Structure 1
Amino acid sequence: MTDNSPLPARFARAKFRAWHRGTREADYMIGCFFDTRHAGWGEAELAWFEALIEEEDVDIMAWAMGVQPVPEEFRGPLMQDLQRLDFVTI
């Protein structure tokens, strides 16, 4: 039996986008977050992340560091997890 789910392709695309942001700082923050957290994600979490990576890097980083208020659509457990910043390894 083959899995025809689109999730594997979406995860692969999200991983690529997470690690190719344009700045090394954003790559590490967003890429490391994806790498360490995505294994337990389902459709809802992946959709949240896909929407997040459509935003500007400076905004994502500001929300993660707590220097700008997080928009309503990104508030919740995943943003709280991103804000921990305990996943970045350099």
Structure 2
Amino acid sequence: MDEEAELRKLRWRCRRGMRELDQLLERWLDRQWRQSPTHEREVFLRLLDTEDDKLWRWFLGHELPDDVEIASLIERIRALPL
């Protein structure tokens, strides 16, 4: 699959039905995906496999994921400037 097709597919997976989550995930995809190492991309894909309600609680800081790699990525996504 070429990179543009992969990005379109990922952009669709970032659509969560909650604008705030969509914006957070798409911001990282737009700004970080292309230069991210393979391992970080894999962590992002695991993040996308997570249920929306968990994602929302994690991004709000109400809960922490058990997976430290996902927790670290969430902090980096939250820190991205608007």
Q: Normalized against structure 1, the TM-score is what? A: 0.67
**Aligned CA distance change for structure 1 residues 79 and 23 (closer, same or farther; 3 Å):** closer
For 1:62, which of 57, 66, 73 is the aligned residue?
A: 57
Larger radius of gyration: 1
Q: Which amino acid aligns with 1:24?
A: R
| Aligned residue number for residue 11 of structure 2 | 15
Q: Which amino acid aligns with 2:12?
A: F
2:76 is the alignment partner of 1:81 = yes
Paired residues in the alignment total 80
CA RMSD of aligned residues (A): 2.2
- Consecutive unaligned residues of structure 1, counting only runs of 5 or more, are 1-5
- Consecutive unaligned residues of structure 2, counting only runs of 5 or more, are none
Identity %: 21
Runs (4 or more) in structure 1 with deviation over 6 Å come to none
Q: What are the residue-to-residue correspondences of 1:35-74 with 2, within 5 Å?
A: 35-72=30-67, 74=70
Shift of 1:7: 7.2
